Structure 1
């Protein structure tokens, strides 16, 4: 067997990627502690190139995947079936978001992160907060619709692309055979992007080495020292959701062994952790769902949709814990009504999250909903942004786990989940 075929087998590829993660962490610590500038620059360059390779495929992949996925639902039944699948998917999005935000609130009430912590935000972080648009429902609705079709793609605004894709997909679905040439073109583009991504994913171990190495070289011991109460509670919540809530739902609703779920999705979760991008992980997430038995057509609809709207880590768990943390920093005791506000924003506001900065929009929406004083909100945001990269790794991995879990649950309830098949000997990493 050739080296390439051996390397691309799921187990070998997973071990190589894990080894690259460890090596990257060690090189990052070395660069940070020894002051080797060229090593830090090399790790940052590798990380940037690999991320760019993935990111340039995200927009066309999301658009074509939704168009092809929605039209593929025709093979699963008529319009009623498609509507039922979409409705049930959104329902599970809301249910799991509710569970995640309640876990965040319970952990926050028990641990009370931020109590007794005295931290002053730096001027640089305050400036970064002032430069960011604060979450606002009217702004969100306005920004949902692009000024023109091309602008959404040119600006890389994933949520606008999703909005356009859903409209176009609905139109092509309604037109039926008359729109088939357009759907065929999208299918061809989708297949081309998938092939390119398969080649890019072969470079994942190198990319992971650069990504995790850059993080350690940049932040060093900041992974452990500052604001530790918020860091460990976010990680605790992410672990509970990913390794307790989802497995229980998979076992009792999806009727699937959680070990099978993690075996087929582990590379996606690992890559989400180091890349901090649900969009960049989309190809792995979608293929993980397919490997778990979800029909490709439905997976092509549900997973891309979940990439921008299904974020239990960024949109539910984290805003709950961060709100408690910021309130505690200011010595404010949240009321029952304020906790209810946190829950409502988490369940109904997840559509406001998109890409890698969605946490900020959701957190500002949550803080505005519970009506904390403006100076407390500004100070708290300036503090948490300093350690955001550390928190974002756990949040993104949780997001991706949920984006894979929900399609499995819906496919099982609809009787669409295929029985497990033996993996092909020459499976590529993109199918892991």
Structure 2
């Protein structure tokens, strides 16, 4: 008589969540779905917090608004905390891996070239929208709100920002209340890491222990980062709730036309320019946006390319099929200098707004200068402020009044959400396109992510992606191509 086989019972009982999820569609259990749920919950909580503020306008901020603000700030701080160790370890490891191939320099040049191409078409969109919609004509904004900004962009400032001032690219500034705030310059950190990686390669065998420790540390950093990314639905919910509850939506009354023009330009870049680039390179448009959704949505609510950078790198490697050896170079560089929203669409529309508001005519040369500054000048804002500095650089180049910047400060948080969403989407786009064109794109990883999505409830996806990369790496490596096994981690 046969006895019941109970060997599978404990295993089945021990994984009820996994079993239940197998009966649910992928779109309901994936990371993108979790982020959407977080956004919906955050919107509801934001409207509740805003209603509380309306009921007691003279009272202190309601507890719910404060809770959302603190929760969102903590999440962004956690992400930013991981940026320096991720850049240092990933870039050094990337340089060490890229020594095995012949086309590392070509990858770098291709990356910069695609930065320029997408920025060029994005600024053309911004100019076209500004000319058609004329956001600065007939506006009801009070001219007394005009004021020159405290920080302005300059080409010499860019040179200063590139040269490292200390080993970790750290900077400190004193606030008006006497507090000292410490920050890091990502561009300096990237240069320092590149120098260390190249030096380690040149040192030969004596540097092998250093490279081994760095690669081991990268694995630890990625593990901690993975834990933080799992909190993304909570972080995005808190951030969007805070935006709804506290941002100055009332400012849309006088600047609504400008805000609409900005978002029309951003939408054209997202829904026309980027899809055209994807289609021309043989990539699925819907497949890309389904995979990049966590990056786009998190960029929208955090308003920080630096804060989203760890997520961008994770998604490009585990969902887009970009080898980590290349992604660890392209993503940090993109997070510093690839800003189609902040450095292309926004300064173009804003410059036309200021010119129209003051009744100043721009000629063809002025439009060429806008294109030049937007395509080349985005790096001049690296490590400083961002869109505001980029706008001052554009206005000063055109000879327009810098006081016009003050007209737009009231709606800065509102438009910054859309700008950052476009920035981070473009950063993931370029990394994917360059990998595809260079022949290092891991299609198996792309296909696997399209089947079951990026799952943050376990590390199974990371293992699957690594297995796929290892399988692809079994193929013979030809001269001038990055070995596929460099994509595994």
* TM > 0.5 fold call: yes
Establish whether residue 82 from structure 1 lines up as the match of residue 100 from structure 2: no
Alpha-carbon displacement from aligned partner over 1:169-227 (angstroms, at most 9, x marks no partner) = 33234334443322222222222221112111221121112111111111263374341
Q: Write the distance in 2 (CA, Å) between the matches of 1:188 and 1:143.
A: 30
Distance in 2 between the 1:370 and 1:280 partners? 32
2:436 maps to which residue?
412
Q: 2:164 is paired with a residue of what secondary structure?
A: coil
Counterpart for residue 92 of structure 1? 114
- State the match for 1:106 in structure 2: 128
Task: Give TM-score scaled by structure 2 length.
Answer: 0.80
| Whole-Å separation in 2 of the counterparts to 1:63 and 1:346 | 28
Query: Which residue of 146, 149, 156 corresponds with 2:164?
Result: 146
Q: Which residue of the other structure, out of 208, 217, 236, is the alignment partner of 1:180?
A: 208
The count of corresponding residues between Structure 1 and Structure 2 is 420
Give the drift of 1:6: 6.8
Change (3 A) 1:392 1:221: closer
| Residue 17 of structure 2 corresponds to residue 17 of structure 1 | no
TM-score of the two chains, using structure 1 as the length reference: 0.90
For 1:228 and 1:246, locate their aligned partners in 2 and report how far apart those are by CA, in whole Å. 26
Write the distance in 2 (CA, Å) between the matches of 1:347 and 1:139. 17
More deviation, 135-144/353-362? 353-362
Q: Distance in 2 between matches of 1:296 and 1:213?
A: 34
Superposed, which structure 2 residues align to 1:269-308 within 5 Å? 269-290=296-317, 291-308=319-336
Query: Gaps spanning 5+ residues in structure 1: where?
Result: none
The Cα shift of 1:152 comes to: 2.4
The 2-side partners of 1:152 and 1:367 are apart by 29
| C-alpha distance in 1 between matches for 2:248 and 2:390 | 28
The CA distance in 2 between the partners of 1:145 and 1:133, in whole Å, is 19
Structure 1 SS opposite 2:247? helix
Answer yes or no: is 1:41 the counterpart of 2:59: no
1:146 Cα offset (Å): 2.6
Structure 1 position 30 matched with structure 2 position 48: yes
5+ long unaligned stretches in structure 2: 1-14, 54-60, 172-181, 463-489
Aligned pairs for 1:239-258 within 5 A: 239-253=267-281, 255-258=282-285
Q: Cα offset for 1:5?
A: 8.7
Matches within 5 A, 1:23-422: 23-35=41-53, 37-75=62-100, 77-78=101-102, 81-120=103-142, 126=147, 130=149, 132-152=150-170, 155-219=183-247, 221-222=249-250, 224-253=252-281, 255-290=282-317, 291-354=319-382, 357-372=385-400, 376-378=401-403, 380-420=404-444, 421-422=447-448
Structure with greater contact order relative to length (CA < 8 Å, sep ≥ 6): 1
CA RMSD of aligned residues (A): 2.5
